[in-house]
Amino acid sequence: MKTTFSKESAHSNYHIAMIGGRKSGKTTLCASLHQNLIARAHGYSPNMIARFPDANGLNQLEKLFADKLGAPKTTFKAESTGPVREINIGIDFGTSKWSLFKKSDHELQGYYQITIDDLRDDFDLMGEFASEQQIGELSDNNPLAHFKQSLTNANSLIICQPALQKLAPSESTGFIRLMSDIATGRFGSFQNIIIAFTKYERIFTKFGAKAFQKAIKPNTILETIATTIHQDNGFETGLRALMSNEENAPNLYAIPVSSFGFLRQNGAPNLNKMTETPISTLAPLVEETRPENPLNDAVKKMQIAGFTIPVSDEQAKNVSPVPHPSTHWLPFLTADPFLAAVSGQPSQFMIPVSNFISALDHGLKIENLGKDEFQQSA
């Protein structure tokens, strides 16, 4: 599929709808978008220039960041806005000749105003869709009416599903029905549909400092996506419903993402398993003086973002302010679904969903999908 944006279309409003089951990571995905982009921690060329010139949009993301990722509370507190949280941001795609988006058949330049509808309904609620007639009769205050309108307005769609996790039994029927409705054009046409397998860091908690290197391996990504699809009949059925051979069918890609991500210093998962919160947002505190070894003198230490470091007596008296979490934390590929949704161009870590469906249809083992196929599809 060919999608072209020109300078003339700059400043146009592009709509992205985000859907997912209960606690599937939709809002945290938005919250980490800015940090992932400015850190160039996405799967696109590092020479690709993309930035946020929209101050109001950044303010919105900062609010989400404070609420969902535990940023210092000196920033902002996010507010709930009902069944649909609308996030308006601006992304300016640069014109570097090395940009992935600067191709002969695909040009993306200029400043794009993007509206992200974070749809806060669950797939079990979506199972309540009965007919077009019923939807037409819904009042404006009905969450299903909001949901339908957001999908109808959207140019592209991001579907969130936690990696290696199944849909809840109550969500499965709704998911299949919703995917079928999308495939039959009930909400109009979409240019791109991105399946974001969220909470990817949870898979690697037992790998410690080797987690990031394990997570970024092509075969690990292939196996994670394929297993998530294959282990849940409802999820697989829903994705199959989206498959289409029509010429104007949307681009359909899958990618693992992690809003909590990994710790910059050692690559360990940024997840406190006890509290289900990111480690990187722990406030620094001075531990009580205690000897590390009974034979040695006591050593004062300070814990910052999960790392315990020795401190001097003077430092211990004047504990520094809470460090910004980004000092120690790097989200994993969370910008990719948004950039692909707008551009239609997959990052190197995105794989067409058709690859997995084809592999399952031909009885291929997950581990035999192989690195070569990954590279070919990227």
The answer to whether residue 183 is domain-embedded is yes
How much is the pLDDT for 158? 97
pLDDT of 103 reads 61
Q: 40 and 149: one domain?
A: yes
> Do residues 351 and 242 both lie within one domain?
yes
> Does 208 lie in the same domain as 335?
yes
How far apart (Å, rounded) are the C-alpha atoms in residues 354 and 240?
9
Assess whether 316 and 237 both reside in one domain: no
Is residue 301 in some structural domain?
A: yes
**Which residues form the domain of 223?**
7-264+327-377
How far, in Å, CA of 30 to CA of 26, rounded?
Answer: 7
Q: What pLDDT is recorded for position 271?
A: 86
Task: Classify residue 271: in a domain, yes or no.
Answer: no
Give the total number of structural domains in the chain: 2
Residue 224 belongs to domain with CATH number: 3.40.50.300
Cα 1-4-108 angle, rounded to 5 deg? 125
Statement to judge: residues 182 and 316 lie in one domain? no
Identify the CA nearest to 99 among candidates 359, 375, 347: 347
Q: Are 280 and 344 in contact (CB under 8 A)?
A: no
Is 270 a member of any domain?
no
Q: Tell me if 317 sits within 8 A of 349, measured CB to CB.
A: no
Cα separation values, 219 from 45, 222, 313, 349, Å: 21, 5, 49, 11
* One-letter amino acid for residue 262 of the chain: F
Averages of pLDDT over runs of 10 residues in the chain (378 residues) are 42 84 91 87 82 86 79 48 76 71 67 87 66 53 76 94 92 90 90 97 90 91 92 94 81 95 86 79 43 47 43 51 64 94 91 87 60 39
**Quick one: 164 and 295 in the same domain?**
no
Amino acid, res. 250: P
Buried b (16+ CB within 10 A) or exposed e, 164-202: bbbbbeebbbbbbbbbebbbeeebeebbbbbbbbbbbbb
pLDDT at site 252: 95
Do 303 and 352 fall into the same domain?
no
CA distance 211 to 204: 5
The reported pLDDT for the residue numbered 170 is 85
Please tell me the distance from the alpha carbon of residue 359 to that of residue 281, in angstroms, as a whole number: 41
126 within 8 A of 23, measured Cβ to Cβ: no
If asked whether residues 309 and 341 sit together in one domain, one would say no
In this prediction, residue 4 carries a pLDDT of: 44
Same domain assignment for residues 54 and 91: yes
Looking at residue 161, its pLDDT comes to 96
